[in-house]
Every structure is written in structure tokens, then in C-alpha cells.
Amino acid sequence: MRYPPVCLLRQSNILLIRSFMLLFLSCVTIRIKLCFSSIPYTLKALPLDGHFNFDEVHLAAKDFGNRYQFLPVAVLHPKSVSDIATTIEHIWQMGPHSELTIAARGHGHSLQGQSQAHRGVVINMQSLRGPYMQVYRGNSPYVDVSGGELWIDILHQSLKFGLAPKSWTDYLHLTVGGTLSNAGISGQAFRHGPQISNVHQLEVVTGKGEVVTCSEKQNSDLFHGVLGGLGQFGIITRARILLEPAPDKVKWIRVLYSDFSTFAIDQEKLISAAENTFDYIEGFVIINRTGLLNNWRSSFNPQDPVQASQFKSDGRTLFCLEVAKYFHLDEIDVVNQEIENYMSQLSYITSTLFLSEVTYVEFLDRVHVSEVMLRSKGLWEVPHPWLNLFIPKSKIQDFADEVFGNILKETSNGPILIYPVNKSKWNNRTSAVIPEEDIFYLVAFLTSAVPSSTGTDGLEHILTQNKKILEFCETAHLGVKQYLPHYTTQEEWRAHFGPRWEVFVKRKSAYDPLAVLAPGQRIFQKAITSS
């Protein structure tokens, strides 16, 4: 018997192995393709009150940040909570063999793709709005709302009963589920805490498709986990939000400081005051702005027009304290006296006192006015490389010296908010991550980039500035925490959560063990195994 030469045997074996490999690979590819293309059919077969859209999915791959785009395979427009539960349960049942993930999309006002799902399913939470909004009066009034409800609509509905939520964001065209997944902070937070401190009960659909009602007393681990939980443990389908009697009007005041430490001392004095001072306390940094006070005149009146007209902002870095006092029409005289009294205790530049009187709705919906204006100029849908930081009180001066005195001396490319809040108003059992100290500041760099600019108003330049700020915080050990956090590695997430990371991971394995939910946060990745 003649044996083929060894080299020929090797060659034919290699060919055989190669053919097998090719066959195997093409089978796998076909299988994956089949699996993938069969997804719409399995989803289409689900019994729903609402519907899936497999074609118009591009909108779900966009957000306010305008920098990240991940196309989903389908968008669910749910009409009921059971639509959401059925879809999640279906994907849970598919197990780790399916790569499908699910992102709830509130109003898509995330900055880095947090409400997107690459080749997954996006749930358009706003479809769930409507029939659920119910206001309950009594000693502790509240409103039950859908997770996809916009805060502006909650305001209008609760005002019909003379009531309103206690804690807000600066901009109200955001959804309940979206802000409760972060924290929800504005100038009322020093007194009432963030929005996550003003919720009594939630209804949540977990990553296994279970519908769970939770509160401080019932399923409290899920309740605390979901609040500030970046969408990781469940989808909020209903929230019970605390209300208070709504005022009629608002006295809205701005004053300027040229010295940061005087500004910060006054802000801290106001938020720590034993008696109620203002109802809203914020502030912002003004860098190198010309004709600043003239611009304010369209909506604010100077207390002393002559002195105010002589004030020059050009080339300077200034700090603006912004406060507001709510009142009912019959209280106007008392309120004016109170304001005079509070203001007399502050050390602002006297010629820069500006006042305005607006309705409560005008005050709360103030950012929407800017939105309409920016949209009309095509300046709303531009890249927004925002950076939001929580900074401990003991380090805010170091931060201000370096960032406003050095890194951002020339221009800011958008508003920079800066105001302190009291940690005692935050519930440390929630998932929100904040600094250790009793008082910490929110500093929000709300930048807009000019598309395709390579100058100081371009995206690259702003991102480099953000990086410089973060590097300074790191090297100076400021104990800073990111708000609306964004990281690319799990190591960074672990560092962000610090000692709370273990609880976060434990909650993930309890409520979303396959890591199906909110993939756009990039904290956990769904582990996919081949069958």
C-alpha cells in the first residue's frame, strides 16, 4: 500500500480543516444572521397594547449630547406597563444567547448615549404618558405619574389643584424616569433635597420582566437602588411625587461678586440659615462677557439704574448669585421686607442688584425660553460636551482658583452653574454618588460646541478643557464626583462608586442578572454565550 507523502497528507488535512472551519464559520454567521433577522419576528409576535417600530429607529440613536449614535433594531411604543414587562420578560427568557439589550428612553436628553441601545430595543417611555396622572390632596399631597411623564406636564396638572412638586430641575422638558435615574437637582435642592428625595413610591419593571411596587417600606432595596441607579435595576413605570401648595409669583434676584470666596460665603450662609431665606438658591460664573448687565435689562430691572449703567463686566470673571422668593399675591409687602432684610446681610457689589417678578410657571420653565430662542437660530441641536461635578465645600476654593483663574480664563462656551447643597437632604441608601462632606457644590459646565469648528468654540477644544479640569481634580485629590457620570471602563465605574460599588453590583445581579437594561451607561456588559 502506498502512503501519500507526509507533506501531502498535511496539506490535505489542512485543506480539510480549513473547509470545515469555513463551513462552521459560515454556519455560525448564517445562524447569527438568522438569529438577528428573526428578532423582529419574535418581537412582532408579542401580544402588546402598543407596537414596535423596526424602520424609524434613527431618532432613538440621537440624544441632546449629539456626539454618540447607536442604532437599535427596534423601538417599542408601549401603551401599557404590561407591554414593557412582556418585552423585557421575552428578552430575559432568550437568556444569554441573545445579544438584545433594552434602554428606556425618556426624552433623550442624555449627553453620551445613555438612553441608547446598540442593536437592542429602545422603549419610548413618553408613549406611556397620559391616563395615569392623578393628584391626591390632603395633608401630604402627592401625584401619581407615569415614568415617561414630562415635569412640565406634571407642573401644569398639579397647578390645577393649587399644588406643585417641591424639587425641580432647571429645565422641565425632561421625564420623571430620566431625572430619577440620576438625581434631579436645582436651586430648591438645598432645602428639599434632589428629586430622588421627594418620591414616595415607584412601580418598576425589573430586568426579568417582573412588575414590582416599591417604597421606603416595601421592597426598599429596589426602591433605593432605582433612585439615582442610572437605569440599571429596572424601568420606572410609575412614580408617586410629593407636592406642596404652589405660590402665585416669584421674586427673582441676581447680584454680582468679583471675589469667589465672598460669593461662596454668602451662598453657604443662605443655604445653611436656620430660618427659611430664599426658596431657590443658585449661582453662575461669568467669564469675559461684554455688556452683561445690559443683556439682563430685557428681563430684570436694576435697583439703581444709574449705578448699574456704570458697571463694566468686560474681560472680568464675575460670580452671580441667583435667588428667588416664592409668594402669594396677598403677601407682597411682607415678602418685600423679608427680601430687603436677607439682601442686607450679603456682600455683593451694590450697583449690581437686579430684580424681576414673574409667575411661578414662568420662573420654573425659564430654560425653555432659551431653548425656543436657540432652536430658532439652529443652535440647540449642536454637540454638548457637558461636564457636571460635585465638589466638596472644603475644596471649592482650590477648584475655583485653578479652573476659573487658569483653565477657563478666556471664555466658557456656555453657562457655568455653581451652587452648594446640603448633604443631609440626600438619602444615602439611594444609588446616587455624592462627596463625603456635609455641604458640596454642583458645578455644571453647560457647553455648546460649534459644529466643525477647530477653534476655541469647537468640540475638540472643549473636550480638552474638560480633560484638564478632570485631571486637575484627580491630581489635587479634591474628592470630586461626576454628576450624570460618564466612564469608559469598569475600573473607572468602580472608583466612582467607591465603597458603594459592591452594593451596586449586588443589586445588578438581583434585579438585572443578564445585564439587559440601560446598556448605554456602559457600566455592565451583557455576557453573550453561544448555544
Nearer to ligand FAD, 381 or 474 (CB): 381
Catalytic residue among 279, 282, 322, 365: 282
Catalytic residue among 83, 89, 107, 109: 109
Q: Given the DSSP bridges, would you call strands 134-136 and 481-483 parallel, antiparallel or unpaired?
A: unpaired
How many other CB atoms are found less than 10 A from the CB of residue 275?
6
Nearer to ligand FAD, 352 or 388 (CB): 388
Return the DSSP state at 403: I
The set of cell numbers assigned to 523 is 457600566
Q: Given phi > 0 = left and psi -120 to 50 = alpha, else beta, which region is 340?
A: alpha
Catalytic residue among 170, 221, 362, 457: 170
The burial class, CB within 10 Å (0-12 / 13-18 / 19+), for 335 is middle
Cα pseudo-dihedral 59, 60, 62, 68, rounded to 10: -140
- State the nearest-atom distance from the C-beta of 134 to ligand FAD, in Å: 18
CA dihedral sign of residues 102, 103, 104, 105: negative
Asked if 170 is an active-site residue, the reply is: yes
Q: Given the DSSP bridges, would you call strands 121-124 and 102-105 parallel, antiparallel or unpaired?
A: parallel
The set of cell numbers assigned to 342 is 436677607
Distance of alpha carbon 78 from alpha carbon 84, whole angstroms: 6
- State the nearest-atom distance from the C-beta of 171 to ligand FAD, in Å: 3
Asked if 282 is an active-site residue, the reply is: yes
Distance of alpha carbon 322 from alpha carbon 340, whole angstroms: 15
Nearer to ligand FAD, 103 or 391 (CB): 103
Return the DSSP state at 64: T
Nearer to ligand FAD, 351 or 521 (CB): 521
φ, ψ of residue 326 in degrees (nearest 5):
-85, 150
- State the nearest-atom distance from the C-beta of 410 to ligand FAD, in Å: 24
Nearer to ligand FAD, 383 or 520 (CB): 520
Distance of alpha carbon 48 from alpha carbon 131, whole angstroms: 17
- State the nearest-atom distance from the C-beta of 168 to ligand FAD, in Å: 8
Q: 348 and 297 in contact (C-beta within 8 Å)? A: no
Residues 6+ apart with CB under 8 A from 471: none
Nearer to ligand FAD, 50 or 184 (CB): 184
Contact residues for ligand FAD, defined by CB under 6 A: 64, 103-110, 114-115, 125, 147, 169-171, 174-175, 177-179, 181-186, 230-231, 235-236, 367, 484, 518, 520-521
- State the nearest-atom distance from the C-beta of 104 to ligand FAD, in Å: 4
Task: Taking each helix axis as running N to C, give the angle between helix 6-44 and helix 81-94, from 0 to 180 degrees, rounded to the nearest 10.
Answer: 160
Nearer to ligand FAD, 165 or 231 (CB): 231
Return the residue matching grid coordinates 501531502: 8
- State the nearest-atom distance from the C-beta of 461 to ligand FAD, in Å: 21
> 186 by DSSP, 3-state: which?
coil
Nearest 5°: the CA angle 369, 371, 377 is 110
Residues 6+ apart with CB under 8 A from 334: none
Nearest residue to ligand FAD, scored by beta-carbon proximity? 177
Q: 503 and 428 in contact (C-beta within 8 Å)? A: no
- State the nearest-atom distance from the C-beta of 391 to ligand FAD, in Å: 16
Nearer to ligand FAD, 206 or 313 (CB): 206
The set of cell numbers assigned to 159 is 397647578
- State the nearest-atom distance from the C-beta of 358 to ligand FAD, in Å: 18
The set of cell numbers assigned to 351 is 450697583
The burial class, CB within 10 Å (0-12 / 13-18 / 19+), for 255 is buried
Nearer to ligand FAD, 312 or 375 (CB): 375
- State the nearest-atom distance from the C-beta of 29 to ligand FAD, in Å: 31
- Catalytic residue numbers read 109, 170, 282
